[in-house]
Chains A and B, each alone.
Chain A
């Protein structure tokens, strides 16, 4: 499913959570929505899911989503864990709601997943452990098979082995049933290799949208003697730097051309890649200050 967002603004009283954001997702990919706490991820996703009236426009496959029953039936948003179902409902009932509300729901798959994640069917949702509730959210998200499926930090309550089972399940199900999946997470390093495209937002604004592998190749860490590094990085976009004695390492953003690579070699500089997570940290506002 294609997603088009244009001039989207979300305000809560005086607070602007999403600020005139525009982007398009061509669809049928796994997207990572990355942003720090309070950057507007949840506001953005709830608007994409039609939970709130947009200022600006949100279109799914060319149709506005808000108050559009047809469009909403194709969307599944699983937010932070406790919200997957009413706390008093048993797990089995929560799954029945999923089945009743979505044409694309695969009940057999839902029950396979419940077994995989060892979620007790007869237990009330409110009495599940944090890990089990996270898993239930993920089950509802995946079994919905919705053309637009959004998982907002849904898997953060899972322990590490369960998260890896989730990543494998997500990938296999996506390959068998390609659809638009948007995942927000703080565990970027773990999820990075699963993402085809990355959308980074900060303070309610779009920072960048890029193919994950392209983004990864855009960052270079330049290490060498401080004066050489300074000479080399003059005029380039430097995201951050650190020094150890006379050695300096600078994170450069942007593709280096052949003449720059030759110059780096002449200066004896070491060029290394930067992990997606580090790029993210430096592309968003630093902790404790403004960029």
Chain B
């Protein structure tokens, strides 16, 4: 299930962030326990705990002692803001490079984006 390449805890943390961003996990909703994650993904519970700790440090999750981990109220807005910061560098620029490499004029790319804007796609 994991590629066993980048640290697994980072992959798990990224998945939880993606779930917060797409609304699958809502603010103040409890996330599954470390052990549930470990069993589901077949990973060591310490690895799952490390992912949770990273998310607590980044204030995506917060801990209720003895109860579990919850999605913080500001998590989604925060992740959206972070995503906007890196969007052009990490998504648009490589796309432009790819379009150039395969010979698609940028005007065609822009037209496609406009079709999305107009709801034609």
CA A214 – CA B7 in complex, angstroms?
7
Q: Count B interface residues, CB 8 Å.
A: 19
Are B44 and A212 in contact (CB-based, < 8 A)? yes
- Choose among B2, B6, B7, B38 the residue that contacts A171 (Cβ–Cβ < 8 A): B38
Are B7 and A193 in contact (CB-based, < 8 A)? no
Are A272 and B5 in contact (CB-based, < 8 A)? yes
CB neighbors of B among A157-214 (8 A): 164, 167-168, 171-172, 174-175, 189, 192-196, 212-214
Are B43 and A274 in contact (CB-based, < 8 A)? no
Q: Does B62 contact A (CB under 8 A)?
A: no
Q: Does A99 contact B (CB under 8 A)?
A: no
B15: chain A residues at CB < 8 Å are: none
Are B44 and A195 in contact (CB-based, < 8 A)? yes
Are A193 and B5 in contact (CB-based, < 8 A)? no
CA A213 – CA B9 in complex, angstroms?
8
- Choose among A29, A172, A217 the residue that contacts B46 (Cβ–Cβ < 8 A): A29
A172: chain B residues at CB < 8 Å are: 39
B41: chain A residues at CB < 8 Å are: 193
Are A276 and B4 in contact (CB-based, < 8 A)? yes
Q: Decide yes or no: A192 and B38 within 8 Å by CB, A30-B44, A213-B9, A213-B50 being known contacts.
A: no
Instruction: State the Cβ distance, A183 to closest chain B Cβ, in Å.
Output: 12
Instruction: State the Cβ distance, A74 to closest chain B Cβ, in Å.
Output: 22
Are B38 and A275 in contact (CB-based, < 8 A)? no
Q: Count A interface residues, CB 8 Å.
A: 26
Q: Decide yes or no: A217 and B6 within 8 Å by CB, A168-B39, A171-B38, A196-B46 being known contacts.
A: yes
Q: Does A248 contact B (CB under 8 A)?
A: no
A214: chain B residues at CB < 8 Å are: 7
Q: Decide yes or no: A275 and B42 within 8 Å by CB, A213-B47, A213-B50 being known contacts.
A: no
Instruction: State the Cβ distance, A152 to closest chain B Cβ, in Å.
Output: 20
B39: chain A residues at CB < 8 Å are: 168, 171-172, 175
CB neighbors of B among A120-169 (8 A): 164, 167-168
Q: Does B35 contact A (CB under 8 A)?
A: yes
B46: chain A residues at CB < 8 Å are: 29, 196
CB neighbors of A among B1-30 (8 A): 2-9
User: DSSP majority for the A interface?
Assistant: helix
Q: Decide yes or no: A196 and B44 within 8 Å by CB, A172-B39, A213-B50 being known contacts.
A: yes
**Chain A 257-291 per-residue mask, 1 if CB under 8 angstroms from chain B, else 0:** 00000000000000011111100000000000000
CA A212 – CA B3 in complex, angstroms?
14
Instruction: State the Cβ distance, B73 to closest chain A Cβ, in Å.
Output: 30
CA A273 – CA B5 in complex, angstroms?
5
Instruction: State the Cβ distance, A209 to closest chain B Cβ, in Å.
Output: 15
CA A216 – CA B7 in complex, angstroms?
6
A167: chain B residues at CB < 8 Å are: 42
- Choose among A193, A213, A273 the residue that contacts B42 (Cβ–Cβ < 8 A): A193
Are A275 and B4 in contact (CB-based, < 8 A)? yes
A277 to B, closest residue via Cβ: B4
Instruction: State the Cβ distance, A218 to closest chain B Cβ, in Å.
Output: 10
Q: Decide yes or no: A175 and B6 within 8 Å by CB, A168-B39, A213-B50 being known contacts.
A: no
Chain A to chain B contacts (Cβ below 8 Å), 9 pairs: A168-B42, A175-B38, A194-B42, A194-B43, A213-B9, A216-B7, A217-B6, A275-B3, A275-B4
| B-binding residues in A (CB < 8 A) | 29-30, 164, 167-168, 171-172, 174-175, 189, 192-196, 212-214, 216-217, 272-277
Given contacts A196-B46, A216-B6, A275-B4, 11 further A-B contacts (CB under 8 A): A29-B46, A168-B39, A192-B4, A193-B8, A213-B8, A213-B47, A213-B50, A214-B7, A274-B5, A275-B5, A277-B4
